[in-house]
């Protein structure tokens, strides 16, 4: 499908030259073709990890899937569950008539729109025109997919002055069972992580509450597949078929949980009626709009910062009070959480409960499993022990 090697602009940093990617052992060629643009080292790391995620989501749930990747972790991932009116407005979809694939990308991109700035997008299906229309207007570095409708490809080739990276991957490609990497002149070899989590992962329910609705199973699988391709340690919160908060690459699991939950809170606050009705200036770019909303919800600004921030609005907005935020967040419910390893302490469950977590999947195996289960029972959560660690490095 492609050549045996591909020169890159540079490696992880601009001073790391030369750089290239090579075919793997036993492969006659690279499993992707560059249809437009010139890939970089990090672009391809993001693309190849993101492609695996959306391919496995598609296979596990039977729905079109999308991911928005940044620095080898998903900023967002989702399947094509229809948007409600609040999310349609919060994601600023506008007049685009969403296909199921476009809906998946709108969710993946909108779950953490600030982190998705400059993403590498991955789509599980052939890219159609509605999906290309969404991609065209976002600040994005590139996209990987198994194919493109002719008109969709034309739209994408015009993005970034003709420099937008478009990759077509062979959907039937299977990598070798063993994978290698080199660090400090030393070659590491291991069996690649070919375990694809499915509903059977949730069979061992350890809490008093045991009922897992179909939507909860879906969301737990979305969260679990997301952490499989997230730099560890990681904890992921999901709802309505999409990632709503992901804590990646933290040395402490409680920090992962706090980060993921804080992002989920912000995702939900963006749907508050006061936020949806903010008097933002029409000519703001999408990135400026997202940043202004974040600052509205999160930051205490100095007078100089406030003056600059207010330029994003037609009139000064009335900020939500702490009590108003708490009251709104108290209505967030039925959130699913997955962890890439066991919870060592109950503090993770305590923090998750404040962000509407009702369903939990974790490896189990901690010395304090009983304490963690007791905490879940206190909050009426359903917890499954997956007996599966999913570290990703």
What is the spatial distance between Cα 333 and Cα 295, in angstroms, rounded to a whole number? 25
255 in catalytic set: no
Residue 360 bridge partners (DSSP): 337, 383
- How far is residue 392's CA from residue 232's CA, in Å, rounded to a whole number? 5
**Dist. CA 301–CA 309, nearest whole Å:** 9
Catalytic residue among 55, 70, 159, 228: 70
Q: Which of 27, 71, 88, 291 is catalytic?
A: 71
Active site includes 95? no
CB < 8 Å & 24+ apart, contacts of 252-259: 253/339, 253/341, 253/343, 253/344, 253/348, 254/345, 254/347, 254/348, 254/351, 256/339, 257/337, 257/339, 257/347, 257/348, 257/351, 257/352, 258/351, 259/235
71 noted as active-site residue: yes
Q: Which of 49, 233, 290, 348 is catalytic?
A: 233
Catalytic, 348? Answer no
- Is residue 109 a contact partner of residue 134, using CB atoms and an 8 Å limit? yes
Q: Which residues are catalytic?
A: 70-71, 233, 393
């Amino acid at each position: 499908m492609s050549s045996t090697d591909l020169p890159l602009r540079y490696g992880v940093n601009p001073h790391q030259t030369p750089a290239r990617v090579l075919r793997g052992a036993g492969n006659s060629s690279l499993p992707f073709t560059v249809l437009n643009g010139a890939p970089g080292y990090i672009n391809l790391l993001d693309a190849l990890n993101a492609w695996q995620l959306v391919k496995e989501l598609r296979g596990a749930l039977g729905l079109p899937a999308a991911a928005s990747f940044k620095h080898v972790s998903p900023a967002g991932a989702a399947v094509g569950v229809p948007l409600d009116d609040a999310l349609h407005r919060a994601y600023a979809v506008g007049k685009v008539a969403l296909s199921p694939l476009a809906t998946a990308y709108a969710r993946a991109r909108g779950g953490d729109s600030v982190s998705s700035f400059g993403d590498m997008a991955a789509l599980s299906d052939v890219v159609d025109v509605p999906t290309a229309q969404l991609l065209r207007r976002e600040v994005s570095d590139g996209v990987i997919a198994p194919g493109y409708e002719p008109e969709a490809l034309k739209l994408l080739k015009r993005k970034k002055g003709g420099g937008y990276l478009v990759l077509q991957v062979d959907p039937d490609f299977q990598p070798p069972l063993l994978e290698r990497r080199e660090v400090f002149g030393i070659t590491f070899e291991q069996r690649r992580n070919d375990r694809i989590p499915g509903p059977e992962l949730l069979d061992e329910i350890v809490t008093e509450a045991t009922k897992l609705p179909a939507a909860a199973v879906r969301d737990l699988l979305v969260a679990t597949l997301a952490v499989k391709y997230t730099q560890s340690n990681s904890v992921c919160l999901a709802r309505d078929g999409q990632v709503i908060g992901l804590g990646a690459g933290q040395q402490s699991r409680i920090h992962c949980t706090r980060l993921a939950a804080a992002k989920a809170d912000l995702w939900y606050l963006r749907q508050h009626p006061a936020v949806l009705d903010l008097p933002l200036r029409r000519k703001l770019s999408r990135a400026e709009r997202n940043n202004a909303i974040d600052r509205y919800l999160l930051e205490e600004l100095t007078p100089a910062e406030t003056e600059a921030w207010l330029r994003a609005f037609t009139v000064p907005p009335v900020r939500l009070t702490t009590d108003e935020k708490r009251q709104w967040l108290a209505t967030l419910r039925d959130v699913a959480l997955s962890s890439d390893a066991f919870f060592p302490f109950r503090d993770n469950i305590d923090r998750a409960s404040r962000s509407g977590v009702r369903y939990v999947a974790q490896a189990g195996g901690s010395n304090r499993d009983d304490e963690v289960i007791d905490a879940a029972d206190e909050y009426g959560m359903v917890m499954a022990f997956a007996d599966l660690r999913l570290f990703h490095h």
